[in-house]
């Protein structure tokens, strides 16, 4: 008998315990162990019912992701589940923690399901570009109806025990000790037997959807809109429709066929890449996991503006008390008011209970005295983006902060080393570049200065996790990784306007390609004036032999700062955030093309995508060469979590790999010949293209 699954008898019931830490994933050994234990239980005459339960902190949390992409080894999970379902004795899944993916499918193979109130169930496969491939799409609709099953399967969202009970996924919520509760339930189940309990034989819940093709096409249309180019949610609808049109065995076969198609697709590879890339980003070659991190029990944030408020909320959400320091009572009140409003909005939507909201607000204190930083284990500066202000502030923090405190800056572009040089403790200084809104966005670029201590890096990375963020380590340069690449992308988008496109065409092409938002709608949302103010400061140092688009400056000079001004690259109806094409902007762009002597040409959507996305890729390659980014997958994580890049494209670098670097390089070269300076191909891109390699080959993933 396998060690990861054990069988024992308790009273009149047989207990099959899956013990495969950390999350009881369904490895080959677990699948085999389940088959063996089931056989043993069926042969144990004293066992009147069989319970499947997980050891440790959870039930079975899913497939073994390490086996992804490899040929599946027997026993097949369908075989295991079929064994549980056709068993002559009642089988009961006893769920705590999470029953996800294959874990929930195992539970659906059982005749009964009980769970602790804190348990959650779900079929998240869609998020990895696949679908539940062990009967989930066939059994769940038979258990809870097609619509409820589709809602779960196409989103991958988890459902808590109470809701699962309401839906009919679980039969009973048990309090206290799960095994004791399950043993009690087993007495009942033994008396009731298996009749009518095999989900494959159930008809009542799915009857309504049978032959109802209108229902499925309507549902499919809604999913298509939401999926923004991702195929797996639509494939999930196909599979559930098969459950409603075919006999069980045929439906199961159809599910398997669709699964096979998806599992080898580029989209699925991209989503699995995204999943691993986030974990890999925590791996820093010269800062090994055993590097001691400093304890962060209290924090201070300087500046209660857009970013400071959101950062303070992130600390409070994680239960860490935080003091926000401002220069005036007005600014402080305004900032804390925004924080309170943000929480109140979430609470009004029912996503935060009032007691938790008050507790979080209670963790955020305000002060007008910088000396209030004296107890903080970390100070995060989020004042105006001006070097003189930041330098002065860090010099004062040096005298006020306690020894060993981490001194962090939220700057989006300034030189961390120059800031650190203002202190006598440059080893304690680091960049923590949060994204806006900081309480929502998951990305934090952790910026390593030349003198930043390894323990300080370890501390910032760990803190990122504590704050439920995705920290990615980057080096010092103008704009770090994300914004330096974005700069190239926006520049190309503006050049495209001069050459023949209009903002709404560029945005639509990129949105259809999968981005959450195109560059012009994004500019309007973030405020076009931010970049404009920076450009005005830099005008004196701008080389005049290079092409420069004046369009963005022109619209700012007209006060078209974006949504907040009611006009930007688009026009906005009063009180609305919907961008509307604007004839005034079209006229302005046409006039500009004329002024600079460009004969406008129609530009195909495909060319728009190449010009903008390859601008990201080429700059990304330069960042890799310079060592600013540690690995291509880190760049992908930054774009996936901070810039609305579609997960199913895997990030810009992964995407380039899927296109083929030889092809990407050929286009970059073509752009260089036509456009000049900005398109100098990154030598790394050229080298990899010549050698027939991918970015992924630079840092092959271990394991
Ligand atoms: P903001 O203008 O909204 O807020 C800055 C706040 O700092 C103001 O409330 C101001 O009163 C306060 N302040 C100025 N000097 C101070 C001092 N000496 N002591 C205490 N408070 C002081 O700015 P923001 O958008 O929150 O940006 C803050 C930082 O975060 C900047 O470095 C910016 O580049 C960076 N950042 C901004 C964004 C964004 O989208 N807004 C995103 C990432 C990073």
Q: How far is the CA of 457 from the centre of ligand 1 (A)?
A: 23
**Does 461 share its domain with 320?**
yes
DSSP E strands: which ranges in 467-540? 470-475
Percent of the chain with pLDDT over 70: 99
Show which residues are catalytic: 105, 125
Residue 544, pLDDT score: 81
Kindly state whether residues 475 and 525 are assigned to the same domain. Answer: no
Pocket test for ligand 1, best of 306, 337, 643 (most atoms within 8 A of CB): 306
Least confidently predicted of 168-172, 376-380, 536-540: 536-540
Name the residue with the closest Cα to ligand 1, atom 15.
383
Q: Is the CB of residue 311 below 6 angstroms from any atom belonging to ligand 1?
A: no
pLDDT-derived band at 400, boundaries 50, 70, 90:
very high
* Inside any domain, residue 268: no
- Centre of ligand 1 to C-alpha 460, Å, is 20
Q: For ligand 1, say whether the CB of 329 is within 6 Å of any of its atoms.
A: no
Ranking 23-37, 58-72, 388-402 by mean pLDDT, the lowest is: 58-72
User: Rg for the chain (alpha carbons), in Å?
Assistant: 28
Same domain for 560 and 682, yes or no, is yes
Q: Is-contact 645 522, C-beta < 8 A? A: no
Q: Residue 653, CB half-sphere, CA atoms under 13 Å: how many? A: 34
pLDDT digits (tens, 9 = 90+) for 434-456: 999 999 999 999 999 999 999 99
When pLDDT is cut at 50, 70 and 90, the band that residue 546 belongs to is confident
Residue 402, Ramachandran bin (φ over 0: left; ψ between -120 and 50: alpha; else beta): beta
CA of 386 to the centre of ligand 1 (A): 9
The answer to whether residue 606 sits within a structural domain is: yes
The total number of structural domains in the chain stands at: 3
629 DSSP assignment: B
Domain of 550, CATH number, reads 1.10.1040.50
CA-CA distance, 630 to 451, in Å (whole number)? 17
Asked if residue 683 is part of any domain, the answer here is: yes
The count of residues in the chain is 703
Task: For residues 46-67, give the mean pLDDT.
Answer: 94
pLDDT at 107 over 70: yes
Determine if ligand 1 sits within 6 Å of the CB of residue 367: no
Contact 470, 448 (CB under 8 A): no
**Does residue 537 lie in a domain region?**
yes
Specify the ligand 1 atom closest to the Cα of 393: 18
Q: Which domain holds residue 545?
A: 483-697
List Cβ neighbours of 166 (8 Å cut-off, separation of 6 or more). none
| One domain for residues 589 and 474 | no
Question: 572 and 469, same structural domain?
Answer: no
Mean pLDDT, rounded, for 271-275? 94
Give distance in angstroms: CA of 414 to centre of ligand 1: 13
pLDDT band at 71 (very low <50, low <70, confident <90, very high): confident
Whose structure tokens read 């006020």? 400
Give the pLDDT confidence of 658-702 residue by residue, as tens digits.
999 999 999 999 999 999 999 999 999 999 999 999 999 998 765
pLDDT at 703: 44
**Confidence at residue 357, expressed as pLDDT on a 0 to 100 scale:** 97
- Are 628 and 499 in a shared domain? yes
pLDDT over 70 (residue 2): no
The CATH number covering residue 417 comes to 3.40.50.720
How many C-beta atoms surround the C-beta of residue 570 within 10 A?
21
* β-bridge pairing 5-10 and 13-18: antiparallel
Q: Identify the pLDDT of residue 18.
A: 98
Residue 702 has a pLDDT of 56
Per-residue model confidence as pLDDT tens digits over 216-269:
999 999 999 999 899 999 999 999 999 999 999 999 999 999 999 999 999 999
Q: What are phi and psi of 430, to 5 degrees?
A: -150, 160
For the residues 82-101, what does the mean pLDDT come to?
98
How far apart (Å, rounded) are the C-alpha atoms in residues 289 and 282? 9
What does pLDDT average to over the chain?
A: 96
- Give domain status of residue 381, yes or no: yes
Residue 128 has pLDDT above 60, yes or no: yes
Are both 579 and 495 inside the same structural domain? Answer: yes
Residue 312 Cβ contacting ligand 1 at under 6 Å: no
Q: How confident is the model at residue 542 (pLDDT cuts 50, 70, 90)?
A: confident
- Whether 459 contacts 444, CB under 8 Å: no
Rounded CA separation 286/457 (Å): 10
In this prediction, residues 574-598 reach a mean pLDDT of 97
């Amino acid at each position: 008998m396998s060690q990861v699954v054990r069988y024992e008898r308790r009273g009149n019931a047989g207990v099959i315990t899956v013990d495969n830490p950390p999350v009881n994933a369904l490895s080959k050994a677990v699948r085999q162990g389940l088959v063996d234990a089931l056989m043993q239980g069926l042969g144990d005459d004293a066992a009147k019912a069989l319970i499947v339960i997980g050891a440790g902190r959870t039930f079975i949390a899913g497939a073994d992701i390490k086996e992804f992409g490899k040929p599946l080894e027997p026993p097949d999970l369908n075989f295991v589940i079929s064994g549980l379902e056709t068993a002559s004795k009642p089988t009961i899944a006893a769920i705590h923690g999470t029953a996800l993916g294959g874990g929930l499918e195992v539970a659906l193979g059982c005749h009964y399901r009980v769970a602790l109130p804190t348990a959650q169930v779900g079929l998240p496969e869609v998020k990895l570009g696949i679908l539940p491939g062990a009967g989930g799409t066939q059994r769940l609709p038979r258990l809870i109806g097609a619509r409820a099953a589709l809602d779960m399967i196409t989103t991958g969202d988890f459902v808590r025990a109470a809701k699962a009970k309401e839906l009919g996924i679980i039969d009973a919520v048990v309090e206290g000790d799960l095994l004791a509760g399950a043993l009690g339930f087993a007495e009942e189940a033994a008396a009731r037997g298996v009749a009518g309990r095999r989900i494959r034989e159930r008809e009542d819940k799915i009857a309504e959807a049978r032959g109802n093709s209108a229902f499925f096409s309507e549902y499919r249309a809604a999913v298509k809109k939401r999926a923004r180019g991702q195929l797996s949610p639509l494939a999930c609808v196909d599979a559930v429709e098969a459950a409603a049109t075919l006999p069980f065995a045929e439906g199961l076969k159809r599910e398997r066929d669709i699964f096979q198609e998806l599992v080898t697709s580029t989209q699925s590879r991209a989503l699995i890449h995204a999943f691993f890339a986030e974990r890999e980003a925590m791996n820093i070659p010269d800062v090994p996991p055993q590097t001691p991190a400093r304890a962060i029990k209290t924090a201070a944030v300087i500046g209660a503006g857009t970013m400071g408020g959101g950062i303070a909320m992130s600390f409070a959400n994680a239960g860490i008390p935080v003091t926000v320091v401002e220069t005036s009572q007005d600014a402080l009140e305004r900032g804390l008011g925004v924080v309170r409003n943000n929480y109140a909005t979430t609470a009004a939507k029912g996503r935060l209970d009032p007691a938790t909201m008050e507790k979080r607000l209670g963790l955020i204190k305000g002060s007008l005295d910088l000396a209030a930083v004296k107890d903080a284990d970390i100070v995060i500066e989020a004042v105006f983006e001006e070097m003189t202000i930041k330098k002065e502030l860090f010099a004062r923090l040096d005298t006020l902060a306690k020894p060993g405190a981490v001194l962090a800056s939220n700057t989006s572009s300034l030189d961390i080393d120059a800031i650190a040089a203002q202190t006598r403790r440059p080893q304690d200084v680091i960049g923590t570049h949060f994204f806006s809104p900081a309480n929502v966005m998951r990305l934090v670029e952790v910026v390593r200065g030349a003198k930043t201590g390894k323990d300080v890096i370890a501390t910032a990375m760990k803190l990122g996790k504590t704050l439920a963020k995705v920290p990615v380590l980057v080096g010092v340069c103008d704009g770090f990784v994300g914004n330096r690449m974005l700069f190239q992308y926006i520049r190309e988008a503006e050049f495209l306007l001069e050459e023949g496109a209009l903002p709404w065409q560029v945005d639509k092409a990129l949105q259809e390609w999968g981005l959450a938002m195109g560059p012009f709608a994004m500019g309007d949302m973030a405020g076009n004036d931010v970049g404009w103010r920076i450009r005005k400061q830099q005008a004196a140092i701008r080389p005049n032999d290079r092409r420069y688009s004046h369009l963005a400056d022109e619209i700012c000079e007209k006060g078209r700062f974006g949504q907040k001004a009611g006009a930007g690259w688009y026009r906005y109806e009063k009180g609305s955030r919907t961008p509307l094409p604007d004839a005034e902007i079209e006229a302005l762009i046409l006039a500009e093309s004329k002024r600079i002597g460009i004969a406008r040409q129609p530009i195909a959507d495909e060319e728009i995508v190449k010009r903008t996305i390859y601008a990201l890729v080429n700059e990304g390659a330069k960042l890799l060469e310079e060592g600013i980014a540690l690995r291509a997958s880190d760049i992908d994580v930054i774009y996936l979590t901070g810039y609305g890049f579609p997960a199913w494209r895997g990030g810009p670098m992964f995407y380039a790999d899927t296109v083929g670097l030889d092809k990407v390089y050929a286009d970059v070269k073509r752009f260089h010949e036509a456009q000049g300076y900005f398109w100098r191909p990154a030598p790394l891109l050229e080298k990899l293209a010549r050698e027939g390699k991918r970015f992924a080959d630079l840092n092959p993933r271990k394991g």
